[in-house]
Amino acid sequence: MDKILSARLDEAAVQQLDALSHSLRITKKQLLEEMIFRKAREVAESSGEDVFSATSGTWKRREGVEKTIAEIRGKFEAGMRRRQI
């Protein structure tokens, strides 16, 4: 799922982004994502650290899938009950 990001950029940087995305015939979104992932790879290679491994792992849970689903569903249903008139 895509998320909305708000950032203030220097006007010259925005102009470069527009020009580069136009010349490459890709969207600004595609260009920014590619640049971010490329920079992350550079950092990982230079530091010897695997950025993906360091920032992931939330899917590794001690409890089973059924318990996780039941807990989330319970919270969702409780929220729906609170909002009912």
Q: Confirm whether 28 is domain-assigned.
A: yes
Q: How many domains does the chain have?
A: 1
Q: Confirm whether 37 is domain-assigned.
A: yes
Q: Confirm whether 23 is domain-assigned.
A: yes
* pLDDT in the model for residue 57: 63
Residue 1 in this model has a pLDDT that exceeds 90: no
Q: Confirm whether 5 is domain-assigned.
A: no
Residue 75: both structure tokens together: 């919270």
Q: Confirm whether 1 is domain-assigned.
A: no
Q: Confirm whether 55 is domain-assigned.
A: yes
Q: Residue 62 gets which letter from DSSP? A: S
Q: pLDDT by residue (tens digit) across 11-45?
A: 999 999 999 999 999 999 999 999 999 998 888 88
- Listed residue (55, 18, 57) closest to 40, CA to CA: 55
- Which pTM value belongs to this model? 0.54
| Range of the structural domain that residue 59 is part of | 11-83
* pLDDT in the model for residue 44: 80
How far apart are alpha carbons 81 and 78 in whole angstroms?
Answer: 5
Q: Confirm whether 72 is domain-assigned.
A: yes
Report phi then psi at 3, rounded to 5: -120, 155
